[in-house]
Chain A
């Protein structure tokens, strides 16, 4: 093979090494800039919620916790929190009840029209919530559900049930079907097989999926906003109205509500992150879905 030759590679230049260092540096600098501003935004809300007077200065003149007390009364946060957790609880429960069995069927059976069902479950995740929220709100109002807590729950099920299904399908697929076969051989019926064999195996996946549903529902603004009435506002909707009507109430009071919202969301996010990878919040895990 030595009758022909291959040219040697270009010699390395110092310029190239420097350019590569500069490139790496700028990527990190940019990321850092983003993260610093992000933290700044969150810190500004927290600082303001504890501040007394904050005008034309780096920091408020003094610090006080009393905005939390006034926000609690002014915005009737007790009621709003109760509504929020009723909505979230119902959505999580119904997602488990409806989504997990559907995911099981999709993962274990290969039936005619399965692709059509898959498309049906993908669509609500691909269409942004404002787009389908307006016709959905129209229909809910037509049936008298609009403005009630049931309307808010129903609307929130539209993106969350498919979300649970899509997360659970790869999770169920990776469980060996022979496990179920073995349970049947030993005489377990469908219900007992599910309760004693599948449920314990699926528990981590279900838990992760439901925690993600919980976090998403807490933060779901558009659908709750379009379907909620005055008595069925969730926390994020109340926050929107608070910010929207800025000037009516002191900004620190709104910030106090924002912090309360932030804390409720982040507690659950932290719990969820014990079980899932952050990337799963935006996309179903490709790792487990892959071959």
Chain B
């Protein structure tokens, strides 16, 4: 009896009491539905059907139909992410000065909310050979019907990743840009810095860490492209991305071991790129983007 309060006191001193226990259900849920499946997937990936340990991974490296998916995925995800970021920054800089941003941000949040499947369905019509986009191009004399296609190929997936990815990148960038104290720009202006110089000397260094995070999150989204690669691309050809390979292994060949191996490879490639970007970020200034204590 005399020990009980002492133990409670000692635990409370380290921050453990009844309230702390409230974190457990959520932690157990994530452990059970995220950590465990990942660990199990990793384990399963080393238990291929042929009984060896690295069979799945060797098969992946040996089969161009499989290993080329990495290149195809990156060939979509990297340019799209960079392009989105490249356009998001200047637009965010303009929108930052707007008084009524709400309408624009609301419109831009639509494709994120509606998701890739709906955008794919809309694009099949809108960007299709007889869709409004092609008709408009034809009308102003930029293209003839049938001279090129914007769906069922690389560009279909590319455009869909821009349409769902740009708003995401933009809204994230906007939240970083508006986090920078406007007085910093004013200070730079009074000190003689022109718009370009203000951007280069003040905004860019302060934005860089946020841009690294934005790049990673946007890249990860684009990298995991799945429904639009199937619906708008050529699922067995130039847009056979890695998630399609993993899906087919699991749900068409019922080879869960192979599917897990592909998922692990997918996670690993992603990790390599994200780590590289975050390592670059470590070189930049990281700290408050405010002008003072305030």
Assess A/B contact in the complex (Cβ within 8 A). yes
Please list the residues of chain A having a beta carbon within 8 angstroms of any beta carbon in chain B: 9, 16, 20, 23-24, 27-28, 30-31, 34-35, 37-42, 44-45, 48, 55-58, 97-99, 101-102, 104-106, 108-112, 114, 117, 120-121, 123-124, 126-132, 134-139, 141, 154-155, 157-158, 161-162, 165, 190, 215, 219-222, 225-226, 236, 239-240, 243-244, 246, 251, 254-255, 258, 261-262, 265-266, 269, 273, 277-279, 281-283, 285-287, 290-291
- The residue that B87 contacts in the complex, of A30, A56, A58, A258, with Cβ under 8 A, is A30
* Bitwise interface map of B from 223 to 254 toward A, beta carbon under 8 Å scored 1, else 0: 11011001100000000000100110011000
Residue B14 CB within 8 A of the other chain: yes
Are A240 and B175 within 8 A (Cβ)?
no
Q: Report the minimum CB–CB distance from B185 to chain A (whole Å).
A: 15
Q: Report if A282-B171 is in contact (Cβ < 8 Å); known contacts: A106-B23, A126-B220.
A: yes
Complex CA–CA separation, A52 to B16 (angstroms): 66
Q: How far is the CB of B255 from chain A (nearest CB, A)?
A: 11
Beyond the given pairs A226-B247, A283-B175, 4 more chain A to chain B contacts, judged by CB atoms under 8 angstroms and listed by A's residue number, are A39-B107, A105-B21, A108-B19, A286-B179
Residue in contact with B33 in the complex, picked from A56, A154, A244, A281, CB distance below 8 Å: A154
Does B153 interact with chain A (Cβ within 8 Å)?
no
B22:A138 contact, CB within 8 angstroms: no
Q: Which residues of B contact A101 (CB under 8 A)?
A: 22-23, 25-26
B61 touches A (CB below 8 Å): no
Q: Chain A residue with minimal CB distance to B225?
A: A130
Question: Does B168 belong to the interface (CB within 8 Å)?
Answer: yes
Contact of A136 among B37, B107, B120 (CB under 8 A): B37
Q: Which residues of B contact A39 (CB under 8 A)?
A: 107
Contact between B115 and A221 (Cβ–Cβ < 8 Å)? yes
Contact of A255 among B117, B125, B131, B216 (CB under 8 A): B125
> Which label, helix, strand, loop or mixed, suits the secondary structure of the B interface?
helix
Question: Within the complex, what minimum Cβ distance (angstroms) separates A124 from chain B?
Answer: 5
In the assembled complex, the Cα of A225 lies from the Cα of B115 at a distance in Å of 13
Whether B224 contacts A131 by the Cβ 8 Å rule is yes
Q: Is the CB of B118 within 8 A of A109?
A: no
Give bound CA distance, A240 to B124, whole Å: 13
Instruction: Give the total of B residues in contact with A, Cβ under 8 Å.
Output: 99
Q: Are A134 and B227 touching (Cβ within 8 A)?
A: no
Given A9-B192, A28-B94, A258-B118, A190-B113 contact (CB < 8 Å): no
Contact assessment for A37 and B104 in the assembled complex, using a CB-CB cutoff below 8 Å: no
* Majority DSSP secondary structure for residues of A touching B: helix
Q: Which residues of B contact A123 (CB under 8 A)?
A: 30, 34
Instruction: Using known A-B contacts A105-B20, A134-B250, determine if residue A38 contacts B110 with beta carbons closer than 8 Å.
Output: yes
Partner of B110, one of A42, A110, A251: A42
User: What 6 A-B pairs are tightest by C-beta distance, nearest first?
Assistant: A135-B41, A128-B224, A111-B15, A102-B26, A41-B122, A101-B22
Residue interface bits B58-91, CB-to-A below 8 A is 1, else 0:
0000000000000000000000000000010011
Q: Which A residue's beta carbon lies closest to that of B257?
A: A138
B27 and A269 contact, CB distance less than 8 A: no
Q: Known contacts A101-B25, A138-B37, A239-B117: does B266 contact A131 (CB below 8 Å)?
A: yes
Q: Which of B21, B227, B230, B267 contacts A131 (CB 8 A)?
A: B267
Say if the beta carbon of B36 comes within 8 Å of chain A: yes
> Is A102 a contact partner of B23 (Cβ separation < 8 A)?
yes
